[in-house]
């Protein structure tokens, strides 16, 4: 069922390894970095909201 | 009687928890479609008679290109709804889609360059398909930059919406460019009117990766729109009462 005969053959991609892995690698990197950036954005806004509210509570 | 369509979720207050509940399901779909599509595309699909193994770039290139165009239309739709009906969630949705759309437009150009070099002998040509996709990328960046440059969010929404709506004209230009102009780029890979010219496994792999990117885009949009809601509605009661804000 699997097309490749060896792991080496799979990575070599018939001599197109640089182009194929350059494409798949860039996509994988982008799809991993974007959710990490969004998680950071969320935690930053939550932290600043918590700080704001605790200051408000102190004033009351 | 309950109304058929509920407008409740058109308000950030009610959409925020709903989006939170939906995210894990779309994450699961992203992973399932992604694993299945990569399995077929990288491990099972046979080689291409003309392009050898280099053709495998198609699995990410076509999916990224489709998403870049589709997300633009969805973004322009929400921006237009926000402009016409002054609904703030619609405009937030448009802003939430833009960065992911820009990313897919970039990936389309990037994987296209890496495919063009071995097959055409060049990373880039100024032909209709490539140039119109580059314009799409700049439209996304323009939308993001314009919104970032205007301090008042409601005014930023309106200005962005006009840019997004004018730019919609570019999407059919990209799609039909390979028919309208003589270009180096090959014709459409998948046609709704003709029998598929690709092997079944290749076609299925490509559609699965496209579904994976689609589900992924939904996850990113929901995550980003939740962050935008918190940022923009920071002084409202509902945000102050969220359990993640006030445990």
- Is B50's pLDDT higher than 90? no
Structure tokens belonging to residue A24: 């798949």
Nearest to A24 among B45, B60, B219 (CB): B60
Q: Is residue A20 part of a domain?
A: no
Q: Tokens 């930059």 correspond to what residue?
A: B145
CA B1 to chain centre: 37
The tally of domains found in chain A comes to: 1
pLDDT of amino acid B179: 83
Q: Do A46 and B245 touch (CB under 8 A)?
A: yes
Exposed / middle / buried, residue B124 (Cβ in 10 Å: 0-12, 13-18, 19+): middle
Q: Is the ipTM of this complex over 0.85?
A: yes
Report, as an integer, the average pLDDT of B143-163: 96
Q: Do A45 and B227 touch (CB under 8 A)?
A: yes
Report, as an integer, the average pLDDT of B114-138: 94
* Domain span at A36: 28-60
Shortest CA distance from A42: residue in chain B: B227
Q: How far apart are CA B215 and CA B209, in angstroms?
A: 10
* Residue boundaries of the structural domains of chain B: 17-240
- Categorize the per-residue pLDDT at B184 as very low, low, confident or very high, splitting at 50, 70 and 90: confident
Contacts of A33 in chain B (CB under 8 A): none
Report, as an integer, the average pLDDT of A8-15: 90
CA proximity to B137, closest of B181, B114, B107, B177: B107
Exposed / middle / buried, residue B32 (Cβ in 10 Å: 0-12, 13-18, 19+): middle
Top mean-pLDDT range of B130-134, B175-179, B240-244: B130-134
Q: How far apart are CA B246 and CA B244, in angstroms?
A: 6
HEC profile of B120-185: HCCCCCCCHHHHHHHHHHHHHHHHHHHHHHCCCHHHHHHHHHHHHHHHCCHHHHHHHHHHHCCCCC
Q: Is residue A21 part of a domain?
A: no
Q: Is residue A43 part of a domain?
A: yes
What are the pLDDT digits (tens) for B209-244? 999 999 999 999 999 999 999 999 998 999 999 999
DSSP tag of B52: B
Q: Is residue A17 part of a domain?
A: no
- Categorize the per-residue pLDDT at B3 as very low, low, confident or very high, splitting at 50, 70 and 90: low
**How much is the pTM?**
0.92
């Amino acid at each position: 069922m699997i097309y490749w005969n060896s792991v080496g053959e799979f990575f070599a991609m018939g001599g197109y390894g640089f182009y194929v892995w350059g494409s798949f690698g860039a996509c994988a990197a982008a799809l991993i970095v974007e959710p990490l950036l969004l998680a950071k954005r969320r935690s930053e806004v939550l932290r600043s909201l918590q700080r704001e509210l605790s200051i408000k509570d102190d004033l009351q | 009687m309950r109304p058929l369509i509920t407008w409740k979720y058109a308000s950030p207050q009610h959409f925020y928890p709903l989006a939170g509940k939906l995210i894990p399901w779309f994450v699961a779909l992203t992973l399932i479609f992604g694993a299945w599509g990569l399995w077929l595309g990288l491990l099972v699909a046979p080689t291409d008679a003309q392009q050898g193994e280099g053709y495998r770039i198609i699995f990410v290139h076509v999916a990224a290109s489709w998403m870049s165009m589709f997300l633009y239309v969805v973004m322009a739709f929400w921006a237009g709804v926000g402009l016409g009906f002054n609904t703030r969630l619609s405009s937030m949705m448009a802003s939430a889609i833009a960065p992911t759309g820009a990313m897919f437009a970039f990936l389309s150009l990037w994987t296209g360059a890496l495919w063009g070099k071995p097959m055409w002998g060049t990373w880039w040509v100024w032909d209709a398909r490539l140039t119109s996709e580059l314009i799409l990328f700049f439209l996304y960046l323009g939308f993001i930059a314009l919104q970032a440059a205007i301090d008042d969010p409601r005014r930023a929404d309106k200005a962005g919406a006009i840019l997004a709506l004018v730019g919609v004209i570019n999407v059919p230009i990209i799609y039909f460019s390979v028919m309208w102009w003589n270009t180096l780029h090959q014709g459409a890979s998948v046609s709704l009117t003709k029998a598929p010219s690709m092997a079944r496994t290749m076609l299925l792999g490509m559609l699965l990766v496209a579904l994976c990117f689609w589900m992924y885009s939904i996850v990113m949009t929901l995550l980003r729109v939740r962050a935008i809601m918190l940022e923009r509605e920071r002084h409202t009661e509902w945000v102050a009462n969220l359990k993640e804000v006030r445990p």
